[in-house]
Amino acid sequence: MKEIDVSKFEKKMIIRNIEAGDFDDIIAMSKLCFKNMEPWRYDQLRSHIEIFPEGQFCVEYDGEIIGSCSSLIINFDEYDDQHTWDEITDEGYITNHDSEGYNLYGIEVMVHPNYRRMKIGRRLYEARKDLARELNLKSIIIGGRIPNYSKHAAELTPRQYVEEVTMHNLYDPVLTFQVVNGFTLKRVNSNYLDDDKASMRYATLMEWNNIDYRPTIPKRKFKTSFPVRITTIQYEMKKIASFEEFAVQCEYYTDVAAGFNSDFAIFPEIFTLQLLSFLPEKSPSRAIRRLTEFTEDYIELFTTLAVRYNINIVGGSHFVEEEGKIYNISYLFRRDGTIEKQYKIHVTPNERLFWGISGGDEVKVFDTDCGKIAIQICYDIEFPELARIAVDKGANIIFTPFCTDDRQGYLRVRYCSQARAIENQLYTVISGTVGNLPDVENMDIQYAQSGIFSPSDFTFARDGIVGECNPNIETVVVGDVDLEILRRHRRSGSVNQLRDRRHDVYHISYKQP
């Protein structure tokens, strides 16, 4: 008898993390599973995989998505017992995810109606439990719907209904499943989900305790403060004779910043144009091509300075040629020797006209030993969408190297930087050029007053100004910002712009490059 090819009978089931290509299937499935309730949106799902990709699971069966679940990490003690789904998930965007938290909070589980009674939900719950063990989390907490309660509401209170279900006298498709999977009841919350009419807006708060949790290995060291010292450099553009002379000036300011024990030093936008003062090229477009020849020397210089002086350096910005195009790029030189880069996204009319600069297309947020930071070069800080995207990705500080030739241009950068600090509850830092380069076309004069800005509230500096230079002189300003105060402010400030956003009225949709 011919050997049977068993492969034609195989239907492979995979539990894996959600990817962007799964969004259409997940949204369609949410419409089937939660009828008369608001389905997932693309921007919410995109936020999930950007912020906490390992906490988002799906079940793929024979190439089809048939189940999914989403979660985030929180420190549950920081939330009110009677919280709502919107509060615990930041309205479905999980921007409140706290990688140093103790609890995994499950915000949704769903199984395609055609594939129920195949233990899909249990597989997803097991994936969550494995994640909690792997990350050494204390517990998994969920706010569970009780969709059959509306059938018994006339004769039972929510508490009575929950008791009947947990005693197996009544069946509820969600609560019964959670009890069977080892979750214990903590309380009943009212007004949990506005559009959950079947549960009459009630939910059960359930918890699964991780018996493998190791409290002897603390996840978080609570701090009364988390100071970060920043030196912003107001750099004078003046004629020099060589790259070596430029390097001497850069090392001098790095040494000054390190002498103050700063964690960051920031140089201005396109301050490397000073190198053109010793190149005999008058055509702006050709001069910029010559300038790009110094890219490797520039990168080597600042990598060495960051390591030698033990300081993270935002290296202003520099024109770089890539595949025939010129980009305005700001490099982050970490003190451990690693390098990141942020392309300027919005190119000014002047940059296009004189230098033919092309724009980047990605908003990046970088991990550092002082938390997450973003870099938004000059004109980019004048577009509030970019800062909001950065803060949703976890940024606590936005650094803005800038170069402006008059007071009006400078004030656009400054006012927008201060506005971004207030509306996004973060710190912003600006660093600009002063002086003049009369022999360099399109770099005749400079105007700057560099500074460090904070949100505006009682816990921060008066007027939201941590420190600022005097205008139009070569100098530095040094200031301390506190990330722990910022964290508390985002929880309990006089106002809370991040939490009070109306996602039901508007949202920012970020297109991945």
Quickly count helices (H) and strands (E) in the chain. Answer: 13, 21
For residue 269, indicate whether it is catalytic. Answer: yes
How far is the C-alpha of 361 from the C-alpha of 200, rounded, in Å?
A: 45
Closest CA to 485 of 418, 373, 396: 396
| Neighbour count for residue 358 (Cβ, 10 Å) | 18
Structural tokens at position 510: 């970020």
For residues 363 and 386, the answer to whether their CB atoms sit within 8 Å is yes
Contacts of 87 (CB under 8 A, 6+ apart): 79, 80, 499
Say which of 138, 341, 344, 393 is annotated catalytic.
344
| Neighbour count for residue 73 (Cβ, 10 Å) | 25
For residue 344, indicate whether it is catalytic. Answer: yes
Q: Token pair 């060291």 is at which residue?
A: 221
Q: Where are the beta strands (DSSP E) in 335-411?
A: 339-343, 357-358, 366-368, 371-375, 397-402
For residue 69, indicate whether it is catalytic. Answer: no
Secondary structure class of 151 (helix, strand, coil): helix
Say which of 33, 58, 370, 378 is annotated catalytic.
378
Q: What is the DSSP letter of 318?
A: E
For residues 201 and 125, the answer to whether their CB atoms sit within 8 Å is no
Structural tokens at position 42: 């693309």
Q: Is the dihedral of CA 127, 133, 137, 143 positive or negative?
A: positive
Say which of 269, 351, 382, 468 is annotated catalytic.
269
Q: Token pair 């990817």 is at which residue?
A: 19
Could you give the residue numbers annotated as active site?
Answer: 269, 344, 378
